[in-house]
Chains A and B, each alone.
Chain A
Amino acid sequence: MTPDAVGLTAKEAERVRQLCGREPNDLEWGLFGALWSEHCSYKSSKRVLAWLPKEGPQVVAGPGGNAGVVRLDDRMEVAFKVESHNHPSYVEPVQGAATGVGGIIRDIVAMGARPIALMDSLRFGLEGNGQRLRDGVVAGIGGYGNAIGVPTVGGEVYYGPGYAKNPLVNVLCVGVRQSKDAIVGASGARPGQMVYLLGQATGRDGIHGASLLASRDFSADDQDMRPTVQVGDPYTGKLLMEATLAAIETGGVAAVQDLGAAGLVSASSELAVQSQVGLELHLDQVPCRESAMSGYEIMMSETQERMLLVLNSAHGGEALAAISQWGLNATPIGRVTASGRYVLYFGEREVANLEASWLVDGCPLTPAGKDLVAPAFKPMRPSPGSMEEGVEEGFDAGALMAIASDPDCRERRPIFQRYDSMIQTATVWGPDHEVSVLTVDGSPWGLALAVSGIGRWAAVDAYAGGAAAVSVVVSRLATQGAVALGLTDGLNAGNPDKPEVKQAFEQMVLGIRDAARALDVPVTGGNVSFHNETDGAAIWPTPVIGGVGRHFHPTAPVADSLNRPDVTLLLINPALSPSLGGSVWERQHGVLTAYPRVRLSDLAHTVTWLGTAVSDVDADIRAVRAVADGGLWLALVKMWLASAPSVGMTVTLEAVHAMPRLLSEEAGQFLAAVATTRVEATLLQLQSNAIGCLVVGQGHDGDYLELQVGRPSRWTRRWSRSQMRAAWQSWEGDSGGSGTP
């Protein structure tokens, strides 16, 4: 075997020889090839990710482990992470998405936490086989999550041309554990302890999935290098989850690591490095599903539903008994040593002898850019046909309805109805809201969860897009008065060897950093997926951000719709000069200019104020939503459609730039409906906090939405609820047969 064949560059191969002090054998080359792949080594991103803030008094475990962990209260902790399964989902959408869900669930379980929620962030093309991919991915996510019994409580789906051949499947899993439990993860193994492999027998599934599939671009002639596709098995996954949690509960587990990309080699070397120990593994002891598997295949296999456990001598027997209660067997495959060496045997024969740290940390990293300040904002000239040239005054009712029914904006019920969002009976707010709210057993407090990452916003100015994704997530948590405890980042981009991709990636991370700092939220872990590029066409850089917030009254969420019409509609922290950059409107009109920079300090102010205001009887905020895709307009539409039939709204705006005001997607703006009797006091509060605010309308008891532009009004339009519903739920007439959006 040559270094080239396992995907190593000449420089990397030289480094391998240097570390080993000899010519590695074929198996060893293979191990390096897998772990030094982009997917496993993060060689192009590690130095960039180091920029992100990761500290905070609530942080129990930061980046680097299976998942970040933050403290919810004195007793309960929350483990959470987003992970991508983009490339496998393009090859085989159902199984690719299913195994993605299984993988992130195992990451959470490996932290000793019981998974309580899933959220997913999906991207597809609108043309071609976009719908087939989407149907498959949705079936895969549902098929796995529904069966394993973890509710899918929210998510998002967006569309763009670059995603047609590079669909994105990012899944966020959230779990809870009690603080008193010993910190479980990969770092507790001690010399003398036994190493066990638990779960599904090993087959030739997905060999080279990490090093080739997820670490290269696709081209048309890649069909033949496809490995055996991994098949998700939620049934075994459920048993594995319960068995692992039960084993941890006995106190007999010293360390856990799930098997994901690059299977056993990745899990075991990672565990050795984190525990700072040596390992001795006997590959012939690994239970195999297929006959005559080589040591190389056993180390590389990406067979799903497997977990690596190290048991301690005190309670290891109890852990094994707990595992067998769930009908699974744990097979001893090796032991922990003090030597620091990573030694593999096949029968009597030593087949590899390395140091685990060479595999895990030895890969030469790409230097990060030195420019750590936000790139200058470059406003672009409005293109012909853009809003600034078009409707300067008044509004275009047809364009507004086109926004409400756009695939990026319309209701996602046909997708989320295929997910069990209620199992575990803790979902107070599920996927029909923009922020999910869950109760947590064992805590008076609950969780607010949000996920966002709009590639369109990062297409031209990745810095702005990164900052906006964080801003939207924190804004959504703020609508609940929830305290943001931590963020997880799923970063998706094209080929990092291309300077423009690398630069955009760095700017995206800088945007995330600046927003996370300004809003005082640590980033506790995540995932990078490069090479989302087929035949030279890359995706928009897509920063999927997930956020976990402490909700102080989860059984009574702050409403996002109205029961009574006696309200005044406020746009809080409105855009100073509303821009359509990066908006749905621009995409519909065939242009895409830079998304506006979020005013981070204004947003931080507003978030602080909302934190108390939403539960302040004096402010009497009846409903609130964060503005995002589709702008103020879509926020109004969604608030109205979710409101009682006896509630109508009249929206009044200045004539000049009414359309940008309605359709600007600048994050950090909030639509709030405040009791009209209290509105003077609320406006005073805002003023004294130096938070900008526009009165944009009133509730009324007619069952219609009216838009009045100009004062006194010069243009008006009225929509009935059924008209608006037809637009927003326009998937009903679409696609035939499968009933999907």
Chain B
Amino acid sequence: MKPKVAVIRFPGSNCDRDTVQAFQSLGAETTILAYDREDLEDATHVVLPGGFSYGDYLRAGALAAHAPIMQALVDAISRGAIEVLGICNGFQILCERGILPGALFANVSGQFRCSWEWVEVLTPPARWPGFRRGMRFRLPIAHADGAYRIGHSDREALWAQGSVFLRYVDPDGQETGEYNPNGSWEAIAGISEGPVMGLMPHPERAMQPWLGSKDGRLFLSLWLQEVPQ
């Protein structure tokens, strides 16, 4: 089945256009869905894009987590009818809604950070076999609240379920286990559980060599489970 990608636009989303463009450049049929809908149309793939939904006021992603469309998303996930990707603010929204475990705290620097980073696949997600262990991507981050945290009691389950998807590695692509641009626990950059994936870096910004990297093409192609172009 050809994927039909829907990018959800919350009030204050600001990577929605970039994300639509990125998927369209991969040849995927892509539309924008407004946050106040109560259905997902016929989307097979739903993306929660980056941005500052509701200004990130209260907490990043907290207010968008209660948008009407989120209930439709929860229902579709439980029916196994859909695959979900949350990028940056989208990841924060998924955690705030409890769709993914954990929470994104303020960067340890206390500051917004925009920089190119290397991330590496730690645990290949069962749902997306194209991501292989050790695979590396050069992707930008741009966030103030990207430090992944999870309660002690849930940590074991996170490892056991193979949810620790992506982690930051140092600028030379070396796995030092220490390099960490935002203070995430275990340098975690992304999580996956079942049909849901969330990450802080922005693959949709890494689609052309002249923008600094085209690793995002591979990343998003693998998420679509399509042959990378």
Contacts and interface: CB of A to CB of B under 8 A. Distances in A.
- Our verdict on whether A and B bind, yes or no, reads yes
Interface of A: 139, 142-143, 146-149, 233-236, 238-239, 326-327, 417-425, 427-428, 439, 554-556, 738-739
Contact of B210 (A142, A418, A556): A556
Nearest to A143: B112
Contacts of A738: 110-111
A416 to B, nearest CB: 8
A420 B142 CA distance: 6
A555 B111 CA distance: 31
**CB-CB nearest 10 A-B residue pairs:** A149-B14, A235-B55, A147-B52, A555-B210, A420-B142, A425-B18, A420-B114, A418-B112, A428-B210, A235-B12
B71 interface: no
B111 A418 contact: yes
B25 to A, nearest CB: 10
A147 B140 contact: no
A239 B11 contact: yes
Contact of A235 (B54, B110, B112, B205): B54
A739 B21 CA distance: 35
B14 A148 contact: yes
**Listed residue (A239, A421, A422, A428) with the most chain B CB atoms within 10 angstroms of its CB:** A422
B30 to A, nearest CB: 15
Nearest to A555: B210
A54 B128 CA distance: 58
Given A146-B112, A235-B54, A238-B12, 10 more contacts: A143-B112, A147-B55, A235-B12, A235-B55, A238-B11, A418-B114, A423-B14, A423-B142, A424-B18, A427-B211
B174 interface: no
A420 B18 contact: no
B204 interface: yes
A425 B210 CA distance: 10
B56 A555 contact: no
Contacts of A143: 112
Contacts of A423: 14-15, 18, 50, 142, 205
5 contacts: A149-B52, A235-B52, A422-B114, A425-B18, A554-B210
Nearest to A439: B210
B57 A235 contact: yes
Contacts of A417: 113-115
B5 to A, nearest CB: 17
A320 B207 CA distance: 36
A425 B22 CA distance: 9
**Secondary structure at chain B's binding surface: helix, strand, loop or mixed?**
mixed
B208 interface: yes
A38 B18 CA distance: 42
B51 interface: yes
B176 interface: no
A419 B142 CA distance: 8
Contacts of B112: 142-143, 146, 418-420
A425 B204 contact: yes
Interface of B: 11-12, 14-15, 17-18, 21-22, 50-52, 54-57, 109-115, 140, 142, 144, 202, 204-205, 207-208, 210-212
B189 to A, nearest CB: 17
A149 B51 contact: yes
A239 B113 CA distance: 24
A282 to B, nearest CB: 29
A425 B55 contact: no
A427 B206 CA distance: 11
A606 to B, nearest CB: 27
Contacts of A554: 210
A640 B54 CA distance: 44
A146 B52 contact: yes
Contact of B111 (A147, A238, A739): A739
Contacts of A428: 210-211
Contact of A419 (B22, B109, B114, B211): B114
B142 A147 contact: no
Nearest to B22: A425
A357 B47 CA distance: 52
Given A327-B11, A419-B114, A425 B142 contact: no
B207 A425 contact: yes
B37 to A, nearest CB: 13
Contacts of A327: 11
A417 B111 CA distance: 9
A422 B140 contact: yes
Given A235-B54, A327-B11, A422 B111 contact: no
Given A146-B142, A149-B51, A417-B113, A422 B14 contact: no
A324 to B, nearest CB: 12
Contacts of B113: 417-418
Contacts of B114: 146, 417-422
Contacts of A139: 111
A439 B18 CA distance: 14
A418 B210 CA distance: 22
A412 to B, nearest CB: 13
Contacts of A234: 52, 55
Nearest to B53: A235
A148 B110 CA distance: 20
Contacts of B207: 425
A425 B211 contact: yes
A672 to B, nearest CB: 22
Contacts of A142: 112
Contacts of A555: 208, 210
Contacts of B212: 422
Contact of B21 (A146, A418, A425, A556): A425
A393 B207 CA distance: 52
A422 B211 contact: yes
A672 B29 CA distance: 47
A555 B207 CA distance: 13
A147 B12 contact: yes
Contacts of A236: 55
Contacts of B144: 146
A428 to B, nearest CB: 5
A327, A417, A439 interface centre (most CB from chain B within 10 Å) = A417
A419 B111 CA distance: 10
Contacts of A238: 11-12, 14, 52
Contacts of A422: 114, 140, 142, 202, 205, 211-212
| Residue of B11, B114, B144 with most chain A CB atoms under a 10 A cut-off | B114
A203 to B, nearest CB: 18
A139 B205 CA distance: 23
Contacts of B202: 422
B72 to A, nearest CB: 19
Contacts of A149: 14-15, 51-52
Nearest to A150: B14
Contacts of B210: 428, 439, 554-556
A233 B114 CA distance: 21
B204 A147 contact: no
A423 B114 CA distance: 10
A428 B211 CA distance: 5
A439 B12 CA distance: 24
B12 to A, nearest CB: 5
B102 to A, nearest CB: 23
A143 B205 CA distance: 20
Which of A326, A418, A439 has the most chain B CB atoms inside 10 A of its CB?
A: A418
Contacts of B111: 139, 418, 738-739
A233 B55 contact: yes
Q: Most chain-A CB neighbours within 10 Å: which of B110, B111, B115, B205?
A: B111
Contacts of A425: 18, 21-22, 204-205, 207-208, 211
Nearest to A421: B114
Nearest to A413: B115
A740 to B, nearest CB: 9
A147 B56 contact: yes
A30 B21 CA distance: 50
B63 to A, nearest CB: 10
A420 B112 CA distance: 8
A413 to B, nearest CB: 9
